[in-house]
Structure 1
Amino acid sequence: MLFLVISNPRPDRPSDMAATRQTFWPWIAKYQNVGVCRHVYARVGRGIIAVFDVPDNDTLHRILNEWADIVPAQFDTYPLIDSDAALKALAAQRS
């Protein structure tokens, strides 16, 4: 299951959270190395956008709770479909 996750961190002073935020990158790298996190980008200003490929909602829930322990944030999550699956669905609609 693919999900786009957009983090909106609490409005704490960035300098107060700098040391904690630095632990985010090694943490997310572990998920990148095993293919769970397909993409991750820092947003201009603050926040992160990531694409996760997880087997179920429970796994995503666990990851987001770990993330919130590092950088408290609100998460907007969007389920995605792979582009190949989207093309198949579109072709099926035309049949």
Structure 2
Amino acid sequence: MLFLVISTPRAEHPSTLVGDRTRYWDWMRPLLNDGLARSVHARVGRGAVALFDVPSNEVLHRLLNEWADIIAAHFDVYPLLDEDTAKAFLRTQ
């Protein structure tokens, strides 16, 4: 299941979160290596955008809670279809 997640951190001075932001990247690295995250990008200014490929909503829920424990943020979550799934759906129409 693909999900695009866009984070908007709580308004704090970015310089006070340098340690947390470093911990975030340390937390994200194994997710990228294991394929639970396909990509992640820092947003200009503040926040991040991640593409998760997870087996269930429960796994996504766990990951977003872990993320929020590192950096308190609001998350916009968008369920996505990969190209093959989108094309298969179109063939049924």
Fold equivalence (TM over 0.5) = yes
Detail structure 1 runs of 4+ shifted over 2 Å in the superposition.
none
Where structure 2 has 5 or more consecutive residues not aligned to the other structure, the ranges are none
Q: Give CA-to-partner distance per residue, 1:38-85, whole Å, 9 cap, x none.
A: 010111111000010111111101000100011110100010011111
- The amino acid across from 2:85 in the alignment is A
After TM superposition, give the deviation of residue 27 of structure 1 in Å: 0.6
Paired residues, what number? 93
> Which residue identity lines up with residue 21 of structure 1 in the other structure?
R
Partner of 2:68: 68
CA RMSD of aligned residues (A): 0.7
| Separation (CA, whole Å) in 2 of partners of 1:91 and 1:31 | 33
How far apart in 2 are the matches of 1:53 and 1:3? 7
- When normalised by structure 2's length, the TM-score is 0.96
Corresponding position of 1:87: 87
Cross-structure match for 2:22: 22
How far residue 8 of structure 1 moved from its aligned partner, in angstroms, is 0.4
Q: State percent identity of aligned pairs.
A: 55
Larger radius of gyration: 1
Q: Secondary structure at the match of 2:84?
A: helix
Counterpart in the other structure of 2:4: 4
